[in-house]
Chain A
Amino acid sequence: MQAFVQPGFWVFVLALAGIYGIFALGLQIQYGVGGIMNFGHVGMMAVSGYSIAVLVIKYQWSFWWAAFFGVVLAAFLGALLGLTTLRLSGDYFAIASIAFAEITRYWILNTDSVTGGTQGTLAIPSPSGFGGYTDQPDKILTWISDLLYPIVGDEASRDMAMIFIVWPFLFLLILISSRLQQTSWARVLRATREDDDVPRSLGKNVFRFRLQTLIIGSVFGGIAGVFWALQFALLAPEDFLRIVTFYGWMILILAGATRVKGLIIASIFFGFLYGSTRFLEFWPLSLLSSPERAYLRVFLIGLVIVLLMVKRPQGLFGKRQEMVLE
């Protein structure tokens, strides 16, 4: 339990929460506004994260251009996914989106010469012989932690510097997203969430609105992938399992799907849950090994979702009235 009072633990929780907050923001605009059930969101994170690693390590791109390209590629794939499958109704699209994310992951897994395959980005063939891709942003992270050193002393770390990059981005993206959700564009989207025929019969191109939402959500997923790649500095295919998408869904359900600002608290709660399970060392959990305890997070997250569905289906910040309207 001592780990919980260590600043380093909370720094990690906050850095992780910021990345997952951006990730969940993509799901929020897709589902909370547009009613699109995307269960393959992790694919966008994988695409942008791996784009950076491959372009920097194998093709010697600048990290910044690679990050930009990764986000654009995520947006492009979001458009491709939408153009091919968005005409499917809710559940069928959800299944297609899972397939998209799995195809992406299997492609990464089986294209060793480009992605490093099962060994991850360390195995990407590099002209320089070095498999790192964070040299350029690391300079900024080091600069930030140097600035923090006089204030927090030895606690100044790379993770802490990450917080100062990720969280302003999260706030900025939340601000943009919440402004966007106050427009008539979002009003039409909220209508499509309930009934396609109404906006269609009023002259609104429902497909266009949905496609735009899917692309915007994919951009957020891609940005989360950039920060993920930066945070962990090493990527492997198992970082992008289906469960990651459902972590995002948990944050969304916790916040209340229509409440964009609730994502801040919900992602911190998730970060705590995610980061803390391995430190639950008291009996009877002490009978489990540390990696085994880490898997408790999956059970705990499932339990939280079930409890929320039963006790507070609108989430912590959602309006109950919205759930009961018939």
Chain B
Amino acid sequence: MNQSAKTSSGNSNSSNLDSVTLDVKDISVSFGGVKPVQNVSFSIKENSFTSVIGPNGAGKTSLFNLISGINKVSSGEIIFRGEAIESIHAHKIAQKGLIRTFQGAKIIKRLTVAENLMMAVKDNPGDNLSGFLKPKKRKAFELLARAEAMRRLDQVGLTKFADEYAGILSGGQRKLLDLSRALMAKPSLLLLDEPFAGVNPTLVEKLLTVLAELRKEQSMTFLLIEHDLETVMNISDRVIVMADGKIIADGLPNSIYENELVIDAYLGSRRKDA
């Protein structure tokens, strides 16, 4: 693990740390008889890096779907920067600065790699039909968006694919594109759903450094779902452990590692083997 990523992210406690960015209060959801998330509560402090871990089917992605508004809660409240968001549309939540990536790296295959990124830019005058009547303003914005997209692509080593259809990218490259696209939207809280799965370790280190820099320079807050415990332990201030739709542990990375419930539900065999 890259040491700089470890020190500049995991240990950074800014003065903003006490203000709550996201407050999840007793949320549950049920789809028919299935209850993927049950009475989950937690708060995320501004400029923090929190990871959510748990076995497959624990409800981690369902939790992200509820926070980001893709699915609606059956009960409970979600407060983002002081505003209840549990019943508003997903796009409005995103406009408030809560952006997410997807477990399956949802890319738009028939847009180019650069277009995938440029789509994410906020407040693009060309996104409105009225922007059609202001071609100069629209084109100037497009140039800026393109430059920003190229910078992001350079960060993840995808520059040479900029004008290729995103559908030609490999699974790992799609993950990188998904992550870069989310960053293009300049989030204040970024939900990352297994962003490093299938990405080569060298690049993971580089990305962690990028995330750490964003956290430091732009006061960005992160909520990460990740199965690689080494990554989780190194980058997180705090770890939430889920199993069967519920939170079974919540605390500092080291304390989680020693928690008996967590060992039984998730770490068990791995710890014992070690």
Known: A183-B132, A185-B128, A187-B111. A200 touches B91 (CB 8 A): yes
Known: A184-B126, A204-B91. A326 touches B68 (CB 8 A): no
Contact of B108 among A191, A201, A205 (CB under 8 A): A191
Cβ contact within 8 Å between B118 and A195:
no
Cβ contact within 8 Å between B106 and A198:
yes
> CA A150 – CA B138 in complex, angstroms?
47
Query: What residue in chain B is nearest A323 (Cβ atoms)?
Result: B110
A151 lies within 8 A of chain B by Cβ: no
A322 lies within 8 A of chain B by Cβ: yes
Chain A nearest CB: distance from B166 CB in Å?
Answer: 8
A206 lies within 8 A of chain B by Cβ: yes
Chain A residues contacting B121 (CB-CB under 8 Å) are 184
> CA A191 – CA B68 in complex, angstroms?
19
Contact of A325 among B95, B119, B167 (CB under 8 A): B167
Cβ contact within 8 Å between A325 and B165:
yes
Cβ contact within 8 Å between B131 and A183:
yes
Chain B nearest CB: distance from A178 CB in Å?
Answer: 12
> CA A183 – CA B135 in complex, angstroms?
9
Query: What residue in chain A is nearest B184 (Cβ atoms)?
Result: A202
Chain B residues contacting A204 (CB-CB under 8 Å) are 91, 94, 119, 127
Chain A residues contacting B151 (CB-CB under 8 Å) are none
Chain A residues contacting B229 (CB-CB under 8 Å) are none
> CA A199 – CA B132 in complex, angstroms?
20
- Scan residues 89-138 of chain B and give those whose CB is less than 8 A from a CB of chain A: 89-92, 94-95, 99-100, 102, 106-111, 115, 118-122, 124, 126-129, 131-132, 138
B181 lies within 8 A of chain A by Cβ: yes
Chain A nearest CB: distance from B110 CB in Å?
Answer: 5
Chain A nearest CB: distance from B136 CB in Å?
Answer: 13
A118 lies within 8 A of chain B by Cβ: no
Interface centre among A197, A198, A206 (most CB of B within 10 A): A198
Cβ contact within 8 Å between A197 and B102:
yes
Known: A179-B132, A200-B70, A204-B91. A187 touches B119 (CB 8 A): yes
A203 lies within 8 A of chain B by Cβ: yes
> CA A205 – CA B182 in complex, angstroms?
16
Q: What count of chain A residues pass the 8 Å CB interface test?
A: 27
B185 lies within 8 A of chain A by Cβ: yes
Query: What residue in chain B is nearest A205 (Cβ atoms)?
Result: B91
A212 lies within 8 A of chain B by Cβ: yes
Cβ contact within 8 Å between B109 and A325:
yes
What does the 1/0 interface line of B178-215 toward A look like (CB < 8 Å)?
A: 00011001000000000000000000000000000000
A to B contact number (C-beta, < 8 Å) = 98
> CA A75 – CA B94 in complex, angstroms?
30
Chain A residues contacting B120 (CB-CB under 8 Å) are 202
> CA A198 – CA B145 in complex, angstroms?
18
Cβ contact within 8 Å between B109 and A184:
no
> CA A151 – CA B181 in complex, angstroms?
59
Chain A residues contacting B89 (CB-CB under 8 Å) are 200, 205
> CA A201 – CA B124 in complex, angstroms?
16
What does the 1/0 interface line of A200-239 toward B look like (CB < 8 Å)?
A: 1111111000001000000000000000000000000000
Chain B residues contacting A195 (CB-CB under 8 Å) are 106, 108
> CA A202 – CA B122 in complex, angstroms?
8
Chain A residues contacting B124 (CB-CB under 8 Å) are 184
A321 lies within 8 A of chain B by Cβ: yes
B142 lies within 8 A of chain A by Cβ: yes
Chain A residues contacting B147 (CB-CB under 8 Å) are none
A312 lies within 8 A of chain B by Cβ: no
Chain B nearest CB: distance from A86 CB in Å?
Answer: 15
> CA A179 – CA B133 in complex, angstroms?
11
- Scan residues 20-69 of chain B and give those whose CB is less than 8 A from a CB of chain A: 68-69
Cβ contact within 8 Å between A212 and B129:
yes
B252 lies within 8 A of chain A by Cβ: no
B168 lies within 8 A of chain A by Cβ: yes
Query: What residue in chain B is nearest A193 (Cβ atoms)?
Result: B110
Cβ contact within 8 Å between B138 and A322:
no
A242 lies within 8 A of chain B by Cβ: no
Contact of A185 among B91, B109, B131, B167 (CB under 8 A): B131
> CA A179 – CA B120 in complex, angstroms?
21
A175 lies within 8 A of chain B by Cβ: no
Chain B residues contacting A193 (CB-CB under 8 Å) are 110
Chain A nearest CB: distance from B118 CB in Å?
Answer: 7
A188 lies within 8 A of chain B by Cβ: yes
- Scan residues 141-185 of chain B and give those whose CB is less than 8 A from a CB of chain A: 142, 145, 165, 167-168, 181-182, 185
Show 8 A/B contacts (Cβ-Cβ < 8 Å), sorted by A: A184-B124, A185-B126, A185-B129, A195-B106, A198-B107, A201-B102, A202-B182, A205-B89
